[in-house]
Structure 1
Amino acid sequence: MSENIRVLITDDHPVFRQGLKGLLHALGVEVVGEAENGPEAVRMAAELQPDVVVMDLHMPGGNGIEATRTITRTSPRIGVLVLTMFRDDDSVFAAMRAGARGYLLKESGAEEIARAVKAVAAGEAIYGPEIARRVLTYFTDMPDPRRAVFPELTDREREVLALIAQGRSNAEIAGTLYLSQKTVRNHVSNIFMKLHVADRAQAIVVAREAGLGESTPR
């Protein structure tokens, strides 16, 4: 590992900090400071400008999520690697939203931690195997966002509504979706009824407010 990587360790347990510091020193990494809580990490990160902040999440005196958010906002070049005992989805995704580039559990081995520090310093995103599986499962199980809009409509009706929102006529919709104009008229009537709108103009307003029809009409 490059000896040029400079790390700030943030954890409220002195014994853990000392152990991690020894591990990183053995790998040729310079530990430029140690913080006991989030606010201290923010202050030291601004002062020392390390390449990586290794961040615990739940600490007395200020949590790691807020510290991560502040550090990544004020010093975007600094990478935050979360190293914690917490494996729950709320903690993982809160850290990701706050800007953490990596998330490892404290049970991770030395090689895994070393690889993560190097990757985060290089601007990459890295997650431990268990965390990566959780993230993948989360996104695999996410509902189709198109179905979250107007769930009362069928997939075909949503397609028709999106084209209505683009200002397409029934004839143009029929040509685009390879349907008869009669079928399109039936879909349009069902859409109006389900959305409780009186006409095409109201349907366009409702659809565009929901983010449909943003592409340019052909």
Structure 2
Amino acid sequence: MSLTRVSPPYRELRTRPWHAIVLCCREPARELARLIAHVGHVVPPVLVISPAADPKQIGGAFRLGATSYLVAGDFNRSALSAAVDGTLHGHTHLSPRAASLLQQGGAEPPSAVEAAEGGEAPRRALSPRERQIMDLLANGFGAMEIGGRLSLTEKTVRNNLSNIYAKLGVRGSTEAVLLWLGITPRRGTSLG
């Protein structure tokens, strides 16, 4: 895999297909919209790296089609490598600060259109116990901590999480939390 630096207006992105894009910018929602406008075809997975630690910027980036989001200075080299590799394969990654901001309810609620199209579907698809588990997961608790709070074994929580992921049609905890918060992660679809 090779990396090529491109700058606005992103004309270089039209010359060949890309496997993934790493977008480093201060205003991710604005820059991602510009990037999408210039790509002009199916947009590959996008990893946003930004100093913007604003829930609206993070949520906006995901709504526009970002796959992953890292807040600058909130990750190490290993986490960056994992995020690039995961994003390349369509998996969602968040730095701890981005995850915390989204989990604290900073994401905008689904629009009226999203609600009409099933924005509440994730909650309805789960049993009351699974909703409890998702609420705790969305607040940053791990399987062992969730088990302790709900008097369940860690294995039972992990089994429940596997069932939840299957019901929600997601690949892991980050995608589940984003969906739970009303942010549908993009999966290689056309945004143009």
Q: Taking structure 2 as the reference length, what is the TM-score of the superposition?
A: 0.49
- Structure with greater strand percent: 1
Q: Taking structure 1 as the reference length, what is the TM-score of the superposition?
A: 0.43
Q: Which has the higher contact order (CA 8 A, sep 6+)?
A: 2
